[in-house]
Amino acid sequence: MKMIKKALRTSVIGLALAGLMSAPAHARDFKLGLLTPTNHIWTQAAQNFADELHTSSEGEHKVSVFPSSQLGNEAQMMQMLQSGALDMAFLTLAEVSNRVPDFGILYAPYLAKDVADAGRILKDDPARSMLDQLPVKAGVVGIGYGMGGLRQIVSRGKVETVSDLSGKKIRITPFGPILDFYEAIATAPTPMPLPAVYEALANGQVDAIDMDAELIVKLRYYDHADTILLSNHMMFPMIGLVSNRVWQQLSQPERDDITNMMNKHLLSTIDTYIEKEGDWLEQIRQLDKNVVEVGPEFFGDAISRWETKWSARSNMLEKLRQ
């Protein structure tokens, strides 16, 4: 009887082990967070990446995409990536430039001559090799960059010279390099996440907003504005990240698949902005508003003051300009 029981136990364990071995070794349900809404170009790229990884792994890997800051703001998502509670995210460079100042240099005013130049900077070295610092300094793996076009200024009231903005409350995306730019032109930069922006401009909580051409058009940020400054003063990179803790659990083929597919869809955002930016700018020019086209001269010596401040934090500016 004892022998029969032992044989049974052995075969049950054997079956369980065989079951485990035939299950996919690394089947994963990854979570990817981002702050943009469902229909935004960044969110669509994230979903396309999720679909491609699911199909190419024959259903083994799934990526659930959480748009609209459903998992928290970018600071919270970064902490979750570091602890391994979140697997992946498409973020602005706010959190990585807080930890690695080199990334702040990508916001140097007029670093990019136009949107195509911005794309070229983000696709090449030295910007790409800056990603190598991230696992050690920020606990995340940087897969590559995407982009959100170039920045413009939408203002209540007439703006003809930069001094018309002096002392004005200008909504900015909450982080250092942008704050420093608006302080350099003597405004009162007001950090505010995207969902609060329309209302804040509508009710006069802010006098102006820093924004990209796509969202000025699609979210009608011009509704409550008198002047739109087409300044193209800064590019707006995005970064695709994987938690370093999660990365360590993946096999090399899994890492290669994630790298290749995520990078492909990040790059697609750059190509989309290069293709469409001209149309959005043209739609803005056609608005019944005071549309003023300005270049670096509009901002006077604010640009060199920004550069002096950031050159003390990072030596990347010269390298990127080359």
Q: To the nearest whole angstrom, how small is the minimum distance from the Cβ of residue 35 to ligand BEZ?
A: 6
User: CB neighbours of 242 closer than 8 A, spacing ≥ 6?
Assistant: 81, 87, 88, 140, 141, 143, 258, 262
Q: To the nearest whole angstrom, how small is the minimum distance from the Cβ of residue 148 to ligand BEZ?
A: 4
Q: To the nearest whole angstrom, how small is the minimum distance from the Cβ of residue 41 to ligand BEZ?
A: 9
Task: Tell me whether residue 45 or residue 50 sits nearer to ligand BEZ (CB atom).
Answer: 45
Q: To the nearest whole angstrom, how small is the minimum distance from the Cβ of residue 172 to ligand BEZ?
A: 8
CA distances from 167 to 73, 109, 187, 221 (A): 28, 20, 4, 21
Task: Tell me whether residue 185 or residue 215 sits nearer to ligand BEZ (CB atom).
Answer: 215
Task: Tell me whether residue 36 or residue 187 sits nearer to ligand BEZ (CB atom).
Answer: 36
Using CB under 6 A as the criterion, which residues of the chain lie in contact with ligand BEZ when the complex forms? 35-36, 92, 148, 173, 194, 211-212, 215
Q: To the nearest whole angstrom, how small is the minimum distance from the Cβ of residue 92 to ligand BEZ?
A: 6
Question: 35: which 2 tokens?
Answer: 């702050």
Query: Which residue number has the CB closest to ligand BEZ?
Result: 173
Amino acid letter at 248? Q
Task: Tell me whether residue 173 or residue 231 sits nearer to ligand BEZ (CB atom).
Answer: 173
Dist. CA 302–CA 299, nearest whole Å: 6
Q: To the nearest whole angstrom, how small is the minimum distance from the Cβ of residue 245 to ligand BEZ?
A: 25
Question: Pairing relation of β-strands 208-212 and 140-155?
Answer: antiparallel
Q: Is 42 exposed, middle or buried (CB count within 10 Å of its CB: 0-12, 13-18, 19+)?
A: buried
Q: Is 244 exposed, middle or buried (CB count within 10 Å of its CB: 0-12, 13-18, 19+)?
A: middle
Q: In which element (H, E) is residue 101 found?
A: none
Task: Tell me whether residue 7 or residue 196 sits nearer to ligand BEZ (CB atom).
Answer: 196
- Count CB neighbours of 141 within 10 A: 24
Task: Tell me whether residue 193 or residue 204 sits nearer to ligand BEZ (CB atom).
Answer: 193
Q: To the nearest whole angstrom, how small is the minimum distance from the Cβ of residue 118 to ligand BEZ?
A: 14
Report the C-alpha dihedral over residues 32, 270, 222, 157, rounded to 10 degrees.
Answer: 110
Task: Tell me whether residue 73 or residue 311 sits nearer to ligand BEZ (CB atom).
Answer: 73
Q: Report the first-to-last Cα separation within the chain, whole angstroms.
A: 82
Question: Pairing relation of β-strands 28-33 and 88-92?
Answer: parallel
Q: To the nearest whole angstrom, how small is the minimum distance from the Cβ of residue 321 to ligand BEZ?
A: 25
Task: Tell me whether residue 147 or residue 317 sits nearer to ligand BEZ (CB atom).
Answer: 147
